[in-house]
Structure 1
C-alpha cells in the first residue's frame, strides 16, 4: 500500500464506520455538491454530495476510486449510492468501491437505482466476495428520507422486450465448473482456499432494464441561530430557557415576561433543492421533459426553487430547442451543471506531473499525454471565442458557456472536475479546487533535483550510442503500451493492470484490462487514435478472475460498440462470462460479434480448440502461435504466449509465483512481461499473496532464456520507483531488464534502451526511494 493510500485510509478510519455509531440528532451546517469527473470520454462522471456527517454519491463510474485516493475524499462517510441508469459509465467503479468499503470497515451501503443496478453487483460473485459488506437495494417507489436528505425518485420507463441469451454464453458448460477439475490440479493448495472458490450460480434471463431514475433532492431544514446577546438583553438566563428558545419554543421568565422564539432566532434555512438527472438521448427526451414531477418547480413561481440541476446529458440533447426550453422553465435562479463529453480539464494532477518528469528521460517512450494537449487547445479556444462583449460582466467560470445557452438566459456551467456548488451556505458555484497544470513550472522544479541535470546529460549520451548500435533495426511495430502497472488497487500514479499490444497498424489486442483501461488509452493517445485502436482491437485477453485485471472489460466493449462492429475474440476464463453476460442481457448488449475462447482451450501442448477456430484467431491477430499455461496464483490463473509471424514470441505472466508452467511457456521468448509485485526483502509476503519478487521475475526470464524481461504489476508502495537490489547483492544482470511505468509506449526494437533509464530514475526519485528504504529498515529487512 502506498504512503498516500495509507494516509487516506488512516484518515477515513478515524470516522465512524456505520450509521449505528453515528449521531442522529445533529445540526448540519454545510452541504455542497462536488463534480467528481467532468464526463468527457476519458474521464468518469460522478457527483458527491458532502455534508457535515454523511456523504452521498450519485453514479459511480470507472476510475472513481483512483480520484478518491488522490483527493482524499472520505468514502467511508457514504451510506447511500444513487444510480441514474445501470450503464457501465454509471456503475463501472462500483465493484472496486464496494471492495474498498469492505476493507475499511463499512458494514452496509444502500443502492438506489433502477431495476438491474443491484443485479450487476450480484453477478460479480464469481470473482468478488463481499462477506463483510451488505449491499441493500432501496425501494424507489417510496420517498427516501434521513436526518439530512430527502430524495423523491422520478422513475421513467420505456416499453420492455424479452432478451434472448447471447450465443457466446449459452454454450458454456457452467454446471461442470469445479475446483476439482483436472485443469486446476497444478494450482497450489493455498490458492484454492475457500474464500477463493468460484461460485457457479447462473444468472436467470429476464427482460432488459429500460428504466431511468431522476433524483429530486432536498437538504433538510436548518433552524436559525440563537442570538445569545439578544437573549441576555431581554433577561433570559443561560440554561434550559435558552435551550427551549433555540428549539423554537416560547418561554416565560420569572417576572411573567413572555419571550418569543422568533424574536431571538435568526431566519430559518428551509433547505435547498437540487436535481440529478440523465437524459441519455433524444428518444428519452420527451419522457423526461413532459414528466409532471417537475411542473411545481417551474414557471408559476409558487413552488420551491431548484438551486441547481446536474445534467448527465449528451450535447446533442442539450442543443435540442425543446430541451433548452424545458431548462428555461426552472427560472433564472437555477444553475445548470453540464457533465458530458464536451467538457475539458483534469480530474487528477499526479499522472500528468509524473509523465512530464518521465518525458525528460525519453520523450517518445514517455510521450506527453494527448488529452492534455486537447485540454490546453480547447481552453485557449474558449478564451479566444468568448473575448467579446457578449461576456462583459460575466464571472470567469461563465465565459466558456455556449452562446445559445446565454441567449436563452440560462445560468449554465460546463463543469470541470472538482467544481463545487455550495448549497448551504448559499454561495453557488466555486472553482477554487480546479486543477491547473503548468508544465514549465513543474519541469523547472524537477530540474532542481540534485544531480539530475548531469544524470540526464549522461543518459542522453548513452541513449544516442545505443540507438546508433541498433541501426536500421528500429521499427514502429510491434509496440507495447503500458496502460496500468500497479497491483491490487489503483493509485494516483499507477493504475491497475492493462497492456495494449499493437501488433501492426491494423491489429491489436489487450492483455488484461483493469478498471479505467479505456480512460488510459484516451489519456495516452487522444480520442481519434483511441477510436483507431478500438477498430484494430481483435482480441481481449484476461489472465484470471481477480477484479483488478478485468473491470475495464465492459467499458472497452461498450466503447468499441460505439465505433465499430468488427468481430473480437474474448480470451479469458469462462467463469467470468456470467458477469459479462448478465450486463449484456440486462443493461446494454455488448456481446454482439464477440466470440469466447477459454484460456483452458489453448493450453500449451493440450489445446482443445478446433483447428478452424484456432486459425481464425491466429489470422485475426496475424500470429503464428498462441498458447497459455496455468500458473500458481489463484484458481483459473493463466499466462499467455503470442508468437509473431517472424518467430518472435511475447509472453505475459499475468499474476504468478515462479512456476514450471510459466517458465516452459516463456522458453526462448523475445519479450517476457512479468509481474514483480514485491521487493526481494518481502519474499514471504509475495508467497502469501501468490506473487513474485523482482529477483524471482528476473530469474524466471534467465531460466527461460528470454531475450528481454519487462517488469510490471508493482505494489503501490513502489508507485514512483520499484527497488531493484544492487547487482553485487542480488547477482542479477539488469542489462536486459526494464521497469514499466504507466503510459509508457515502446516498440519491441527499442527495448534495449530501457535498462539505461534506471540509474537516472533513481536520481529523479531519490527522495521517494529513501523513504521506501527507511521503511524497509524499520521492518528489519
Structure 2
C-alpha cells in the first residue's frame, strides 16, 4: 500500500501550514487555516476520501478554514468525519452552529487532554488500517534562558500558565450533579441522534435554564449535543415537486431563518431534523480558564506511524523446502506457520515451515512527525516528551546511532518543524533535531527563514497581465522570494533540510525524498515570469486594446486638467474579495475596504481570507502603507449577515489586531447582528480577540438594528427581525451611543442600516461623510425597495451581482441579484458609480453588453458608471470612471488566459453545486 505526505499550504502572508497525508482509500489533514478550500482549488489537489482532521492548536489561526471546508466536504458527499485537537477545539466548532451546518454529514470531535502526565506507553488518539496517530502535548515552560530545562520538582507556582492548567484539571475533576430522582419524559431523553444523561436533563428542566451555567462533564456533553444538531447525518427528506413542502421542525440551525415561499423549489428545502437542544441560540458554556497571554497556549504535536509491510516472499526458498504452490504459500505470506506432507526418498514425512524461513525481513513502518513549537518556551517540554518515554525513544534518541540499527522497529522518515520565532536557532532545538536518524528528512516552516511567494497564482497572474493597463489599479500582489534569514546561515542543523513550500510532496512508500509536486508547480504561471524564467506575452488583440484604453484615459485627463476635483476623489474603494458564496482561483469571498484619508478605514463584510487579501494588497513590511497600518486604521467593520462567506474572516482580523505593536490607540467598532457578536464572544472564551478590553481601545459592538433607518428609540423588529436575545451587551442605547462615537471618529454625518431581501436576516448599509460623498452597500439581496429609497443619489453603490442575466429565476429563488438587476438598481438610485461585486464563480467574465461597447473621450459615462470589481483592484472614487475604458481589455485578458482544459464554472463543480448564501 503506497502512501505520501504533502504540503497543501505553507507559512505565508495568507496561509498557515496545512499538511495532507494520503492513502489510496483515505486522506488525513493537519490544520485548516484560512484559505484551505481555495488552496485545494489552486493546487488541483482534492479532498475526497478525507477521514479525519487534526489540529495542533485551538486558535483561529489554525481553524478558520474549518467552516468552509466542512460544508465543502458535506456538499461533496462526505458523510463521516472525525476531528481531533486540544481542549477548546469542540467549543470552537460549536460556536459556529449559527452558520456552519450540514444534514448529510456526521462530525465526531475529540479533545485531547494536556493535563494528564505523559504515559510511558502512549496509546494512539486515532487508529485505523492506515495510520496510528499519537498526540504529544507541548506546553510552554517558565524559563530563565531560552534553553533552560524545566525544574524536576518545582514549588507551587503563580505562573499564569500553571493557573491555566489548574483550571483544566478542576474542570475535569468536577463531579456531575446527582441525577434526578424522578424519570423525565421519555421523549426528551434523546436529542434525535443520541442519548442525554439524566444529569443534563435535570439541568434542562430547571427554570430559566442557560447553557453558560454548565461546567465540567455537563458542559462537554452539551457541546456534543450541539455538534450533533449541527451535523446530524440524517436522510434527505424533501417534498415532491408540485406539492407544498412541510416546514422542517428545526429548520436551518441559523439565526432568523426566512420561511421559504409556497412556490419555492423543493431543492431549496432543508432536510427534517430533530429539535435542537435548549439554549441552542444562547451563550455556550464557558470553557476552562484560558491563558492570560496568547503565547501561553498549549499545543499538540503528532506522531504518525504508517502500516507494517511484510517482507517479500522468497519463492526459490519455498521451492527448496517443498512448499507447494497455492493456498499454503498464501498462509505463509500472511505470517502463519504451515505443516504439510512431503516425500523424502521413499518416505512421506510432515514438514513445518515458519514464515521467517521464506519471508524477507518485514519493512519497518515509516513514521512522520508534525511538531508545532510556537516559541523557545515550548522546547523543554517537547524534548522531555521524547527523552523520558521508552516508546518515543524508538523514533528519537539522545544517541541517534541506536536508530541506525538494522533491526530498528520504526523508520522516522519525515519531520515537519512548525517553528515560531527563535526556535530554529535555539541550540537545544538544533540538538534535538540531530537526535533523529540519518535517513530522516526535515521540512522547516519558519517565518524568519521561509520566503513568502504568492499563494493564489492564477489571480496574481491576471493581475500581472493587467498591470500594463494601469499599474496603480492593477498593482502586483506583495510577495517575497527571499527569506529574512538564510537557512544556510543557521549552523549545526541536520543535513537533510527542506524549506516548506505548498508544492512539496514526500512519498513514504515507495520512498522518495521531499520534492516539488510537478502537477502543482505547472499550475503556477506567475512566478516563472517574475523570476525571468518565462516572458510575459500579450496577444496582439489584448495589446491593441490596452493601448487604445490608455490613450483614451490620457486624453480625458488632459482635457479635464483644470476641472474641479471630484468630491471624495481620494477615498479608496478596494475590493479584497469579490466572489459569491464560494472562493475560486480568481476571486476570494466578499470583503471591501473603504479607505478614508486622514480619518480611517471601514470594512464591509469579512469573508474567509480577508486578512490574507489585505496582506497581499499592502504587504507586511516596508515603508509604504502596510497591512498592519491598514489594520491599525480600521475603525469600523460592518457585517451584513450570518452566512459564512461574509464573516468567517472576521475573527482572524481581530486576532491579528491583538498583535499590533504598539497597541491600537482607538477602538474598533463592529456593526452587525446579534449572531455575529455572539460568535465573537464565544470565540473570545478560548482566544483573546480584544473584546471588553480594559484599555477602551478594543472591539466595541454595535447592533445593526440600533442603526436601522426606521429606528425610533428602541428595537422594533418582530419575528425574524427581532433582536434575538436579551444579553446585557444588546442594550439599545449603548449601541446608539457607541455608533455616535464611531461616526465622530470617521467623520460621518450618518450611518444607517437597511433591511434587505435575502434568505436570512440581512442588512445593507448607507453612510455619508461630512465631506459630501456617500456609499451604499447592498450586502446579499434581491432588488430591494428599502435600499433604493435610502441610497438615492449616492456617490458609490456597492451592489451584489451574483448571477448572470440568464439566471434570473435562480437569482429570485436564492434572493440574489443578477448583473443586469444590480445595474438597474443603481440607475434608479441615480448612483454616480455602480460598483458590482459578489460574482458567482460560474461567471468569471463580464457580460457581453458591458464589454462590447468601447467608449471614446468624446462619448463616455460621467454618471451611472458601471465598475465590475476584481480582487485587489485599487480604486478611488476619483478613478472609477476609468473602468469603462478598461473593461474590453479585462475581458480580452480573460479570454487569453482561460485554461485550455477548464470551462467556466469548473471551480464551482470542484467545490459544490450547493449555494451557501
Q: TM exceeds 0.5?
A: yes
- Secondary structure, counterpart of 2:685 in structure 1: helix
For structure 2, which runs of at least 5 residues remain unmatched after alignment? 114-122, 140-160, 169-209, 213-249, 291-296, 344-348, 404-409, 714-731, 854-859, 907-917
Cα deviation, 1:318-355, whole Å, max 9, x if unaligned, reads 22223223333335443332223232234342122121
State the alpha-carbon separation in 1 of the partners of residues 774 and 271 from structure 2: 35
Aligned position for 2:313? 226
Aligned position for 1:447? 538
Higher mean displacement: 270-279 or 310-319: 310-319
1:200 aligns with 2:276: no
1:572 corresponds, among 663, 666, 672, to 672
1:419 aligns with 2:490: no
Report the Cα offset of residue 432 of structure 1.
4.3
Aligned position for 1:369? 477
1:84 corresponds, among 56, 67, 71, to 56
- Secondary structure, counterpart of 2:835 in structure 1: strand
1:359 corresponds, among 464, 467, 472, to 467
2:701 corresponds, among 576, 584, 596, to 596
1:33/1:49 contact within 8 Å kept: yes
1:357/1:443 contact within 8 Å kept: no
State the alpha-carbon separation in 2 of the partners of residues 61 and 586 from structure 1: 17
1:287 corresponds, among 371, 374, 381, to 381
- Secondary structure, counterpart of 1:330 in structure 2: coil
1:509/1:238 CA distance change after superposition, 3 Å? farther
Aligned position for 2:634? 537
1:680 aligns with 2:805: yes
1:761 corresponds, among 870, 887, 890, to 890
1:127/1:546 contact within 8 Å kept: yes
Aligned position for 1:111? 83
Aligned position for 1:55? 27
1:480 corresponds, among 554, 557, 573, to 573
Aligned position for 1:269? 363
Report the Cα offset of residue 635 of structure 1.
2.6
2:14/2:455 contact within 8 Å kept: no
State the alpha-carbon separation in 1 of the partners of residues 533 and 55 from structure 2: 38
Q: How does 1:122-137 map to 2 (within 5 A)?
A: 122-137=94-109
1:253/1:259 contact within 8 Å kept: no
1:325/1:203 CA distance change after superposition, 3 Å? same
State the alpha-carbon separation in 2 of the partners of residues 351 and 673 from structure 1: 22
1:480/1:726 CA distance change after superposition, 3 Å? closer
1:244 corresponds, among 331, 349, 369, to 331
1:254/1:557 CA distance change after superposition, 3 Å? same
- Secondary structure, counterpart of 1:326 in structure 2: helix
1:59/1:83 contact within 8 Å kept: yes
Aligned position for 1:19? none
Report the Cα offset of residue 693 of structure 1.
0.3
For structure 1, which runs of at least 5 residues remain unmatched after alignment? 1-27, 164-172, 383-399, 776-781
Cα deviation, 1:689-719, whole Å, max 9, x if unaligned, reads 1100011101111111111101111010113
Aligned position for 1:138? 110
Cα deviation, 1:184-208, whole Å, max 9, x if unaligned, reads 8999858998789995132112323
Aligned position for 2:132? 150
State the alpha-carbon separation in 1 of the partners of residues 360 and 507 from structure 2: 20
2:375/2:420 contact within 8 Å kept: yes
Indicate the structure with greater helix content.
1
Cα deviation, 1:710-761, whole Å, max 9, x if unaligned, reads 1111010113445556899xxx989610111111110110010011122222
1:589/1:705 CA distance change after superposition, 3 Å? closer
RMSD across aligned C-alpha pairs, in angstroms?
A: 3.4
1:607/1:280 CA distance change after superposition, 3 Å? farther
1:477/1:505 contact within 8 Å kept: no
Aligned position for 2:589? 496
Report the Cα offset of residue 425 of structure 1.
2.2
State the alpha-carbon separation in 2 of the partners of residues 334 and 773 from structure 1: 44
Q: How does 1:255-334 map to 2 (within 5 A)?
A: 255=343, 261-262=355-356, 264-291=358-385, 292-293=388-389, 294-296=392-394, 297-301=396-400, 302=402, 304=410, 306-334=412-440
- Secondary structure, counterpart of 1:471 in structure 2: coil
- Secondary structure, counterpart of 2:836 in structure 1: strand
1:744 aligns with 2:849: no
1:70 corresponds, among 42, 45, 62, to 42
Count of aligned pairs between the two proteins: 706
1:606/1:149 CA distance change after superposition, 3 Å? same
Cα deviation, 1:380-424, whole Å, max 9, x if unaligned, reads x88xxxxxxxxxxxxxxxxx524224x344543221112123322
Aligned position for 1:587? 687
Q: What TM-score do you get using the length of structure 2 for normalisation?
A: 0.71
1:186/1:632 contact within 8 Å kept: no
Report the Cα offset of residue 645 of structure 1.
1.7
- Secondary structure, counterpart of 1:206 in structure 2: coil
1:549 aligns with 2:634: no
- Secondary structure, counterpart of 1:634 in structure 2: coil
- Secondary structure, counterpart of 2:487 in structure 1: coil
Higher mean displacement: 144-153 or 346-355: 346-355
Report the Cα offset of residue 299 of structure 1.
1.7
Aligned position for 1:631? 756
Q: How does 1:17-56 map to 2 (within 5 A)?
A: 28=1, 30-56=2-28
1:718 corresponds, among 830, 843, 851, to 843
State the alpha-carbon separation in 2 of the partners of residues 572 and 117 from structure 1: 25
2:369/2:415 contact within 8 Å kept: yes
State the alpha-carbon separation in 1 of the partners of residues 329 and 585 from structure 2: 50
Cα deviation, 1:173-224, whole Å, max 9, x if unaligned, reads 999xx99xxx989998589987899951321123235532221111111123
Cα deviation, 1:558-601, whole Å, max 9, x if unaligned, reads 11110133410011111112221111112334323111011111
- Secondary structure, counterpart of 1:315 in structure 2: coil
1:44/1:64 contact within 8 Å kept: no
Cα deviation, 1:480-499, whole Å, max 9, x if unaligned, reads 11111011111111110011
Higher mean displacement: 472-481 or 695-704: 472-481
Higher mean displacement: 601-610 or 414-423: 601-610
1:159 aligns with 2:159: no
- Secondary structure, counterpart of 2:162 in structure 1: coil
Aligned position for 1:20? none
Report the Cα offset of residue 74 of structure 1.
2.8
State the alpha-carbon separation in 2 of the partners of residues 442 and 487 from structure 1: 35
2:490 corresponds, among 404, 425, 438, to 404
Cα deviation, 1:369-389, whole Å, max 9, x if unaligned, reads 112xx22xx17x88xxxxxxx
1:468/1:262 CA distance change after superposition, 3 Å? farther
Structure ID, larger Rg: 2
State the alpha-carbon separation in 2 of the partners of residues 299 and 479 from structure 1: 58
State the alpha-carbon separation in 2 of the partners of residues 186 and 281 from structure 1: 47
1:193/1:310 CA distance change after superposition, 3 Å? same
State the alpha-carbon separation in 1 of the partners of residues 280 and 811 from structure 2: 26
Cα deviation, 1:86-132, whole Å, max 9, x if unaligned, reads 11111110111110111111111111111111211111111222222
Cα deviation, 1:535-571, whole Å, max 9, x if unaligned, reads 1111111111000011100110011110133410011
- Secondary structure, counterpart of 2:446 in structure 1: coil
State the alpha-carbon separation in 2 of the partners of residues 101 and 321 from structure 1: 43
Report the Cα offset of residue 362 of structure 1.
1.7
1:462 aligns with 2:462: no
2:88/2:287 contact within 8 Å kept: no
